[in-house]
């Protein structure tokens, strides 16, 4: 009963965006940011992305992030976002190679979302992939 209440509070809280801290900590493990400016650009783009995401998709990602957040409590006695970088990297690695298919699927979905947001920033897109912009221009 308590878990359900906490889950509903976590999923319904848009104002303080509790899930966003978990997402940024996950992104830090998946994508090594070069500097603070790169991390800030990613954070800004991720906020835009989550603000424009359909409610059903946003709810599902919040639930996945909640499961990741509480998964570390039995082992480390801390939520995912309170762990150091090395421990977070171990947790992500464990989820990616988990025996449970659901954990692998959740991590694949979250990794895909992080990659999608990262590649949507123009500075991160390789020059080879920018061909479509010049090929489709009307000039």
Domain boundaries, the chain: 2-124
Classify 17 in phi/psi space as left (phi over 0), alpha (psi -120 to 50) or beta: left
Residue pair 118/42 in contact by the 8 Å Cβ criterion: yes
* Dist CA 70 CA 126 (whole Å): 36
Residue pair 102/17 in contact by the 8 Å Cβ criterion: no
Residue pair 38/29 in contact by the 8 Å Cβ criterion: no
Please report the pLDDT score of residue 131 as a whole number.
56
Please report the pLDDT score of residue 132 as a whole number.
54
Please report the pLDDT score of residue 137 as a whole number.
47
Per the prediction, the chain carries an average pLDDT of: 82
pLDDT tens across the length of the chain (139 residues):
455 545 554 555 555 578 899 999 999 999 888 888 888 989 999 999 988 989 998 899 999 999 999 999 999 999 999 999 999 999 999 999 999 999 999 999 999 999 889 888 877 776 665 555 554 545 5
Q: The whole model's pTM is what?
A: 0.76
CB pairs under 8 A, 24+ apart, for 104-113? 106/64, 106/67, 106/68, 109/61, 109/64, 110/23, 110/26, 110/61, 110/64, 110/65, 110/68, 111/30, 113/61
């Amino acid at each position: 009963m308590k878990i359900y209440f906490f889950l509903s509070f976590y999923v319904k809280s848009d104002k303080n965006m509790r899930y966003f801290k978990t997402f940024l900590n996950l992104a830090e493990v998946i994508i090594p940011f070069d500097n603070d400016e790169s991390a800030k650009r990613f954070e800004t783009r991720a906020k835009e992305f989550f603000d424009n995401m359909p409610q059903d998709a946003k709810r599902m990602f919040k639930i996945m992030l909640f499961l990741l957040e509480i998964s570390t409590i039995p082992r480390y006695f801390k939520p995912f976002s309170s762990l150091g970088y090395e421990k977070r990297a171990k947790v992500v690695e464990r989820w990616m190679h988990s025996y449970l298919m659901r954990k692998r699927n959740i991590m694949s979905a979250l990794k895909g979302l992080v990659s999608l947001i990262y590649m949507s920033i123009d500075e991160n897109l390789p020059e080879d992939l920018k061909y479509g912009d010049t090929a489709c221009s009307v000039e």
